[in-house]
A and B are shown apart, each in its own frame.
Chain A
């Protein structure tokens, strides 16, 4: 049983990292959302598995929140926003896909090296969970850096958050996990509402120096 518990947790956490890579090279917004929904499904399975293994019933709540909110509500809402704002074209990456993937590999290697060395005394399950979680967090940050489009930045942030939830549920017996996941959901909901209300479609970056001056309030 111990072996199975470990293997399944490992499989699901590894699945999250894999999907983070899939997110990195999606060039169409709708596909990006579908992949993100898949990641949320894997996350909720992973959390539910932890709940079962650790015999921690409150984690089922977190799993349910992850599933309902991030696999269903948010992707559907973002689909509608994209249709409404008319931005369902290809995503512009600041950096090329090949380079992004290489950077992603480097980040995963970094987090494995750091976490496996650092947490050598912690038990194997928690240690590998943390290493995977840090990879997902770093890949999410990478995605926020290389994308220009506000919707894909939001998706990057949410996948970063998936990594955090993975870490929090992997830390056995950690209190306040449910509260923290609720607090994060509020945050994400507000970002999505913000994108919709203010029609933020691009990161406010432009090569037009005059526009930059205006944004900085430093115009002469």
Chain B
């Protein structure tokens, strides 16, 4: 019924190697894309965009980035918040230095700058492994946040120490600042999210991705069969930081508009993104989306149920959220270490055989 490969014949190599080889899967993907591009922008208002769609799209990019590093290359990083801050501040400096250049270019350049910083902090990964490395990336997290807090050049000597996005447009459409339209910011982020997912998906199934996975599975063995660990690890850090930098830039310029670095890009953010990929599924692009959606929706749902329906004070709901998230992490690690993505795979397999499972 669903997900049948019967009758689906590939006649060219290109067809055989496409991302979604099963016809049903491919059309489902087109439908999702169609809805995202042609339906949602005409229906959304400010509340929907700001509380659901923007955080989802932006966190999805960050999760894809971290998933490349942790899920595909096996290098655990707790410095995501710091790298997002690099993206945000790079974007801010570019926006204020070159007001006439399109935002697309600024965001991409912010990603490139973050990639360079990420590769720099990835250097120790050649010597240290496992949770030694995880703790070493904390150095990046704390150092970068301190740097942006203390060096006035980064926030253009503003009195508050905050950075706030000036009004910028792209192709004549305003996308940053307070007077933006909901659909414009949504579309802008959607373009980056779809682009990131495409690039990441194709990188991970190409030769770079296979090298990363070889390093993840056993780095010494990978070295012996001819994978250069220096190249593989540093490209993983660079590519991962590129996506995280883009998400940081979008997070600052489109979503928040004004940012205080310790608050927006603290260590909590690093953990949040790490939790997204654990819950969503390590080593899966779909998992990054699922995890981001889950952890963006959960607080909203809890707030609706706890505060609006039951009338509990907000602090109790916030604490309950910690308990639930922590508990879910443990449950997922015990019951389904491959996360929501694995549940999705199982569901697909079931659907393929339905209604005759034997």
**Are these two chains actual partners, yes or no?**
no
Which residues of B are at the interface with A, using a C-beta cutoff of 8 A?
Answer: none
